[in-house]
């Protein structure tokens, strides 16, 4: 839909043949509206509005490097010690999603070969809607994070794989973490490109969490629920995610 076919005022949009329709949120970007596309996911209507924005200004501190460790529970940890919690809303939704999934597995139709009951189908639809909502919130949070990173750093070190997601026992946590990881990487790469910022992916099985960033010694095992640990070799005490982020930063610096 080109920009002469619709009109936006506050939180309403005027669409041909439909008239004024309420948007669930106001447009947050100030720029020339180029066009829009309407789509439907999990029974809900979405409008993607294309806005022309000035280029993300390149980082002023080109040599500043940062490592970013994406979490399962928190959104991300940075090598400078900052932990970004992510919104409360998405955590609440994830809890809700876990409950819905549990109740789904008890409904008639959950077992293989069993005929799916109406309740099962209804519950599955609710889950799809909630999942789409979580994806939207996460994507929005990730946009803020990736823009901040590209504006403030010249070199950004990240993991190659979504290792934490893969380690997680929860199928659901894994799928949410997966979705967030790929969205993060996608956004970061295109924003970094337009701002001439370097993104360095660590090699595939780089032990970012297990390596002590002070002496380089590797911890034996480090289950996901261990949030803090002390290096047996040099005695340094680590916040798991921040230590991983520091290793990712060092890796990026050594490989640029």
The residues that are catalytic are 69, 159, 241
Query: What is the rounded CA–CA span in Å between residue 132 and residue 124?
Result: 12
User: Is 233 a binder of Zn ion (CB under 5 A)?
Assistant: yes
Nearest approach, Cβ of residue 156 and Zn ion (Å): 25
Query: What is the rounded CA–CA span in Å between residue 7 and residue 13?
Result: 6
User: Is 231 a binder of Zn ion (CB under 5 A)?
Assistant: yes
User: Is 234 a binder of Zn ion (CB under 5 A)?
Assistant: yes
Compare residues 133 and 238 and give the one whose CB is closer to Zn ion.
238
**Residue whose structure tokens are 């020339």:** 32
Among the candidate windows 80-88, 156-164, 182-190, 215-223, which touches Zn ion by CB under 5 A?
A: 215-223
Compare residues 200 and 246 and give the one whose CB is closer to Zn ion.
246
Compare residues 108 and 232 and give the one whose CB is closer to Zn ion.
232
Query: What is the rounded CA–CA span in Å between residue 159 and residue 133?
Result: 26
Query: What is the rounded CA–CA span in Å between residue 100 and residue 95?
Result: 9
Which residue in the set 197, 212, 219, 242 belongs to the binding site for Zn ion (CB under 5 A)? 212
As separate numbers, helices (DSSP H) first and strands (DSSP E) second, the chain gives 5, 12
Q: Quote the tokens at residue 67.
A: 């490592």
Query: What is the rounded CA–CA span in Å between residue 167 and residue 45?
Result: 34
Compare residues 5 and 230 and give the one whose CB is closer to Zn ion.
230
Among the candidate windows 143-151, 193-201, 214-222, 246-254, which touches Zn ion by CB under 5 A?
A: 214-222
User: Is 217 a binder of Zn ion (CB under 5 A)?
Assistant: yes
Residue 112 exposure: Cα atoms within 13 Å on the Cβ side: 0
Chain residues in the site for Zn ion (CB under 5 A): 212, 214-215, 217, 231, 233-234, 236
């Amino acid at each position: 839909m080109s920009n002469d076919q619709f009109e936006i005022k506050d939180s309403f949009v005027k669409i041909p043949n439909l008239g004024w329709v309420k948007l669930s949120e106001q447009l947050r970007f100030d720029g020339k509206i180029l066009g829009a596309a309407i789509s439907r996911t999990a029974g809900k209507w979405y409008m993607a509005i294309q806005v022309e924005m000035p280029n993300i200004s390149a980082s002023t501190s080109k040599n500043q490097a940062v490592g970013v460790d994406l979490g399962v529970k928190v959104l991300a940890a940075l090598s400078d010690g900052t932990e970004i919690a992510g919104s409360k809303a998405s955590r609440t939704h994830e809890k809700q999603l876990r409950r819905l999934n549990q109740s789904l597995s008890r409904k008639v139709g959950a077992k293989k070969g069993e005929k799916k009951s109406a309740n099962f189908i209804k519950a599955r639809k609710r889950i799809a809607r909630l999942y789409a909502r979580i994806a939207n919130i996460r994507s929005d949070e990730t946009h803020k994070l990736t823009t901040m990173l590209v504006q403030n750093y010249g070199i950004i070190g990240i993991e190659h794989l979504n290792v934490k997601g893969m380690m997680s026992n929860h199928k659901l946590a894994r799928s949410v973490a997966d979705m967030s990881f790929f969205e993060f990487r996608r956004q970061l790469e295109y924003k970094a490109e337009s701002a001439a910022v370097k993104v360095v992916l660590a090699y595939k099985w780089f032990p970012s969490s297990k390596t002590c960033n002070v002496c380089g010694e590797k911890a034996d095992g480090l289950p996901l629920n261990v949030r803090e640990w002390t290096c047996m070799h040099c005695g340094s005490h680590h916040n798991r995610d921040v230590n991983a982020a520091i290793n990712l930063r060092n890796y990026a610096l050594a490989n640029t």
